[in-house]
Amino acid sequence: MPAAEKPARSSALDELRTTKLFDQDQITFVTDKPANSIRVRVEGSRIGPSVLVEGTDARLGSVLKKIKVDPALADVNSAYVLRASVVEQQKRALAEATDRLERSLFLARSASTGVAAIRTAEAQLVESYIQRARRVQPDGLLVVSDRAGGFADLRMEDDDVIVIPKRSQVILVSGEVRAPQAIVFDPRLSVKDYVQRAGGYGERGSRHTIVRHANGETALDRNIPLQGGDELIILPNIETKWFQLTTDLMSLVYQISLGASLLHL
């Protein structure tokens, strides 16, 4: 008969020195001591190391001072952080928004055949956005700076990524325009002017816009002054017969347009 299996047990390293071992015993070494350091990666416009080892109490401000850059090329004031734990939060938020919209879409009742036909057509449009939302991959972007160059007092986490954007003289126009493209920044141009240079509004284009700055911060005011490095996103025109569905769909469209990438501190 096979020998009875001995139960596994744990021992400190000092105890192992005096532990009697038998044939076919297996020993697994496990590190359970809390780490006293973290690794922070640096991406973007830098001239120094791409990995920094810091203490577990490291703050963003102190880490930024150690990153070497060329001030003529690097937009340090627009630095942002990518964090793995935020990715999971964003995935949950996006999944909840998608599920809520899907429930609103398929559980709604139609009062007549005519209303049912309208809702069927609208359902096809909404379903296309739901499928796009399910393909979005959040990147865990944390907005940590303001437009005045100040930074949040953020405690860094292991495997955080600090991104230093390059200084840019370009405005990227995307979304519901006929010819999405990058356009050289001109302070004399308005949002409407940039849209015209990108071929004008697309078939579903609307006056609803998102301006995303280089630091990841967003604004929904089309009258806000643009600056080099901004992205101008033209949102689609959403028209449905159900107010709640419209509200939920617009919320989802915002997240899709941004790649679900933003979480403000």
Taking only the tens place, the pLDDT of each residue in 77-119 is: 999 999 999 999 989 988 888 888 888 776 655 544 554 555 6
| Structural domains of the chain, ranges and CATH numbers in brackets | 89-137+168-264 (3.10.560.10)
Question: For 41, what's the count of Cα atoms within 13 Å in the CB-facing half-sphere?
Answer: 8
Task: Out of 32-36, 65-69, 222-226, pick the least confident.
Answer: 32-36
Q: Are 81 and 161 in contact (CB under 8 A)?
A: yes
Model confidence pLDDT, tens digit, residues 64-75: 999 999 999 999
* CA proximity to 100, closest of 255, 262, 259, 249: 249
| Distance separating alpha carbons of residues 160 and 178, to the nearest angstrom | 37
Instruction: Quickly state the pLDDT bin for 56 (edges 50, 70, 90).
Output: very high
pTM comes to 0.77
Mean pLDDT for the stretch of residues 17-38:
81
Residue 53 CB coordination number (10 Å): 10
Q: What is the mean pLDDT of the chain?
A: 84
Sign of the four-CA dihedral 26, 32, 33, 38? positive
6's torsion region: left (phi>0), alpha (psi -120 to 50) or beta?
beta
Per-residue confidence (pLDDT) for residue 166, from 0 to 100 = 95
3-state secondary structure of 74: strand
In 125-196, at which residue ranges do the beta strands (DSSP E only) sit?
Answer: 141-143, 160-164, 170-175, 181-184
Q: Using CB atoms within 10 A of its CB, is residue 183 exposed (0-12), middle (13-18) or buried (19+)?
A: middle
Q: What is the maximum alpha-carbon separation in the chain?
A: 89
